[in-house]
Amino acid sequence: MSRARRWIARVSIALVAVMGLLAAPFVAASWGLAPIADGQGPLAGVRTVKLGFVSAFVLDAGGGRAVLVDAGADRAGVALLAALRAAGYGPDAVLAVLLTHGHGDHIAAAPLFRSAEIVALEQERALVEGAVTARSPMARFSRAKPTGVRVTRLARDGEVLRYGSLEVRVFAIRGHTEGSAAYLARDVLFVGDAASATTDNRARGPIWMFSEDTDVGAASLRTLAGRLRREGHSVRAMAPAHSGPLMGAVLEALAAL
């Protein structure tokens, strides 16, 4: 592809991305996605932080400490820091930032938490740090560049992480990205962009435009549902990044994808 064509392609992708962000609330409504309720966690000990069209989550780890799931798209973390302050936590109280995947709207504010472990699956490290680009249709013409985020703890599928009084189980759910992760803590399954919840309490799989392989993504979630059931884990809610939570029959909803 010539330089001019590459430039035109990048501009086109950027315009589509901007239009997508502007239209996101309308798309969510048309798809019947459950709305994100800022400040209202799905269960006790979990707080939802609405950051535009994406969420991060604050998990209480006891003793005035917390763990984050994802870190939004704002490098300054204005809304995220405000939400932490409102919940009684300063930046140094954050013990870990658990990254579900390496897309820019999930990782940007992670470097603000200098006392925290930055956690991701090993398969996702290069994307988080910007050594490679995403392989979704939307990212096809983008270039790799450093993100300023450094993964300081590589998690493994099936690993149990402990922070204060909080126990977190890690699961690999490739599809949205190669190293997408789900985290189970406080009976809530945090899935990033691997799934969304609808207003009638059903699950939707990863969105094609932003995902590497939607078929693999759906299969990963079905496999996870069976695994969680076999291992006897309690899952009372699913917390996606781009919709409100799915409450109740989480494993049945994932198994039906």
Q: For residue 123, give the CATH number of its domain.
A: 3.60.15.10
Q: What is the pLDDT of residue 125?
A: 98
Reported pTM:
0.90
Q: What is the pLDDT of residue 141?
A: 77
Q: What is the pLDDT of residue 18?
A: 41
Any domain includes 21: no
Number of structural domains in the chain: 1
Q: In which domain, by residue range, is 117 found?
A: 3-11+37-255
Q: What is the pLDDT of residue 140?
A: 78
Any domain includes 117: yes
Any domain includes 189: yes
Any domain includes 18: no
Any domain includes 24: no
Burial class (CB in 10 A: 0-12, 13-18, 19+), 181: buried
Q: What is the pLDDT of residue 138?
A: 82
Q: What is the pLDDT of residue 30?
A: 54
Q: Could you tell me if 203 and 254 are in contact, meaning their C-beta atoms sit under 8 angstroms apart?
A: yes
Instruction: Give the end-to-end CA distance of the chain in Å, rounded to a whole number.
Output: 38
Q: What is the 3-state secondary structure (H, E, C) of the chain?
A: CCHHHHHHHHHHHHHHHHHHHHHHHHHHHHCCECCCCCCCCCCCCEEEEEECCEEEEEEEEECCEEEEECCCCCCCCHHHHHHHHHCCCCHHHEEEEECCCCCHHHHCCHHHCCCCEEEEEHHHHHHHHCCCCCCCHHHCCCCCCCCCCCCCEEECCCCEEEECCEEEEEEECCCCCCCCEEEEECCEEEEECCCEEECCCCEECCCHHHCCCHHHHHHHHHHHHHHHHHHCCCCCEEEECCCCCEECCHHHHHHCC
Any domain includes 45: yes
Any domain includes 16: no
Q: What is the pLDDT of residue 16?
A: 39
pLDDT by residue for the chain (257 residues), tens digit each? 455 444 444 444 443 344 344 445 545 555 789 999 999 899 999 999 999 999 999 999 999 999 999 999 999 999 999 999 999 999 999 999 999 999 999 999 999 999 999 999 999 999 999 999 999 888 877 899 999 999 999 999 999 999 999 999 999 999 999 999 999 999 999 999 999 999 999 999 999 989 999 999 999 999 999 999 999 999 999 999 999 999 999 999 999 99
